[in-house]
Homo-oligomer: A and B are copies of this chain.
């Protein structure tokens, strides 16, 4: 990493007494992994940290060491805020409000759409996960990486790449994986816990959603409604796995999955075929992400939202293909 950035971050950390670490709403494996991983590293350095996320830790990450220490609201006084895996300020959710919004902020993230909303912005889109950046920081500052921290960091890399299937996986990433395994993290245990194990009901719900698949102009889309979730007894946690599993369908230029949340908001997950980009459409809809995997959250009537999102994706893809031609 850039030595100036390393020194700037190190200086801020050295001056802080109480640090608030926050990751994004609707946390995934990289969000929780980077939160717990950096938290563990800072504690080993004798710092006092609070780990916060507006939403609870998803059940599939309950095996991560320290996952029971994540709080959903931060009270007390802090003198430094670190945002992890958040592409913009809103992603930190209501955890950061009032006085806390005025804290000095270090923004550590690997999303190319990052809005650089911090006082220090360390954004590295070449990292496959924010946890890979946390490992880089630990190595740059000569912090020892314990087995517990290695498990959390490897979890982020495994889940954000769906165990190394995404196009951004390179040798730097795989070397980092090997160092985390050498530090004691078990790749297969993480893959089992975080990726493979699922309740039967969620597989049945997936099959139901696949049964509703529609294909229009090479855009493959489906939905997970409140009614479907109730029928299978499924909470509103992450259905990003569904979008991922559809992303490899040969007939698809893009995949869009609409998930109705308990509060009526609609989560929109988008995936693009190699060479195409859905982050542009997501950004225009107020969201963000990576070129191949992006999303947004919208308010309103499901059919209207579907029409609006599909139009946006269709236009964006047309422009890209016109530009490439």
Contacts and interface: CB of A to CB of B under 8 A. Distances in A.
A215 B204 CA distance: 12
Contacts of A175: 178
Contacts of A166: 188, 191
Interface residues of A, number: 44
Nearest to A197: B248
Interface string A186-226: 01100110011111100110111011010100001000000
Interface string A170-181: 010011011001
Contacts of A200: 213, 215, 220, 249-252
A247 B178 contact: no
A246 to B, nearest CB: 7
A262 interface: no
Number of this chain's copies in the complex: 2
Contact of A198 (B167, B195, B213, B250): B250
A274 interface: yes
Contact of A251 (B163, B171, B199, B213): B199
Contact of A164 (B167, B187, B198): B187
Contacts of A207: 206-208, 210-211
Contacts of A250: 197-200
A172 to B, nearest CB: 11
6 contacts: A174-B174, A174-B181, A196-B247, A200-B215, A200-B220, A204-B210
